[in-house]
A and B are shown apart, each in its own frame.
Chain A
């Protein structure tokens, strides 16, 4: 059984330290292609999180049955089946999400985060921690995608969360903001080069923040040591 502290570590890992996009650098293809608006990024993140939680839990259930020799085909078979089931469910019950994401739901099968977490975590840990890891990695993925989408959308077309109501329902239409009215927009932000640029800057910013935090931690340690001597 995992303690609360270990769950907190899982959360920190998924959201920041080991963020699938910004730290592990996985799943960059959907991250770049879908994030032309913040709503798209949010939608893709939600779908991927759903899949991640289910696949991590299912693979964890089978972890003592699967042998190392056939584990890759088994994981891929399970992942592909789960994505297809999730795809059909979203088409049937969340049709607005389906029209926004379209082709990208089946592409979640190729999302490296899913196979990566299955191999690195779910196949070695119990069901509940695996599900939580899946959830946290998914939330981290969603956060990264939403931020990239938001930056590209603001600079590219001056709006934020456009079409939020078609994704989340009319109750969320307050989210749709036009931040810069009559904005011509930088087209490059809506095309792949813009995605790469934003992602690069975000990864760099993350490094800077981490280095500063590490330096501060070192300084605190040194002053503590000096005070002891």
Chain B
């Protein structure tokens, strides 16, 4: 570009703005095309990710439906948020449910997913996201230790209300040396999640089956070609 004579039309205002507009249009086209082409793949990848988490707190051997497709939303007046329950059925009976709960640890919000069976027993709890201190609070991750398994099999009755605390506060759950706030927050969140489940237990367990979509009519003539 240096030293060349710039054609006069390129110095006109119309050229600059036309150029910007033209490139803007090209950019928009590229974005729309990419979005349309990738939308399905992204949705699939997200569902696969969710299934991995679901399987960790609700073993897939327990159910025969797709919990991602059958959900129940209930409002929690205490947190003012809606809770989304993934409903698992075996032979049309509700056998378990999984849902997200939130705790507030040392460095902010901790998102957890927990699975509960018909009897109100915890099937499993996993941490989805957190900002706790690496090396101290992050032992709540399943990859960093077994602490998160200490909720398996517990319910609102075992232990009782006093037991649902860290050992330092008189309960039965271990805390970490140098980090008490993080496990305390998770114990509280899991207990609150259990209590919320118990309040709505009948509603969840007796949830009606989702309406069956009408059977897809396949053309009868196609069968003769197979």
Residues of A within 8 A of B (CB): 62-70, 73-74, 77-78, 80-81, 84-85, 88-89, 91-93, 95, 98-99, 123-124, 185, 187, 190-191
Contacts and interface: CB of A to CB of B under 8 A. Distances in A.
Given A88-B35, A99-B49, A77 B23 contact: yes
Contact of A70 (B16, B27, B30): B16
Nearest to A64: B1
Contacts of B42: 88, 91-92
Closest 10 CB pairs of A and B: A92-B41, A92-B38, A81-B27, A95-B45, A85-B34, A88-B38, A70-B16, A187-B135, A92-B42, A91-B42
Interface of B: 1, 6, 10-11, 15-16, 19-20, 23-24, 27, 30-31, 34-35, 38, 41-42, 45, 48-49, 134-135
20 contacts: A67-B6, A67-B10, A67-B15, A67-B16, A73-B20, A74-B23, A77-B20, A78-B23, A78-B27, A81-B27, A85-B30, A88-B34, A89-B34, A91-B42, A91-B45, A92-B41, A92-B45, A95-B45, A95-B49, A187-B134
Contact of A190 (B19, B49, B134): B134
A84 B29 CA distance: 12
A91 B42 CA distance: 6
Nearest to A80: B27
Nearest to A81: B27
B27 to A, nearest CB: 4
Nearest to B19: A70
Interface of chain A: mostly helix, strand, loop or mixed? helix
A118 to B, nearest CB: 13
A62 B15 CA distance: 14
A99 B11 CA distance: 46
A207 to B, nearest CB: 32
Given A91-B45, A124-B1, 13 more contacts: A67-B15, A70-B19, A77-B23, A77-B24, A78-B23, A84-B34, A85-B30, A85-B31, A88-B34, A91-B41, A92-B41, A95-B45, A98-B45
Contact of A69 (B16, B27, B45, B135): B16
Q: Which of A85, A93, A185, A187 has the most CB of B within 10 A?
A: A85
Contacts of B31: 81, 84-85
A80 B45 CA distance: 24
A91 B19 contact: no
B27 A66 contact: no
Nearest to A89: B38
Contacts of A69: 16
A81 B23 CA distance: 10
A84 B30 CA distance: 10
Contacts of A91: 38, 41-42, 45
Contacts of A99: 49
B27 A77 contact: yes
A120 to B, nearest CB: 13
A121 to B, nearest CB: 13
A180 to B, nearest CB: 15
A89 B6 CA distance: 39
Given A124-B1, A187-B134, A70 B20 contact: yes
A35 B27 CA distance: 32
A66 B19 CA distance: 7
Contacts of B20: 70, 73-74, 77
A64 B34 CA distance: 27
Contact of B19 (A74, A80, A89): A74
B161 to A, nearest CB: 36
A95 B24 CA distance: 29
Contacts of B15: 67
Contacts of A81: 27, 30-31
A53 to B, nearest CB: 16
Nearest to A74: B23
A177 to B, nearest CB: 17
Nearest to A99: B49
Given A88-B35, A187-B134, A65 B19 contact: yes
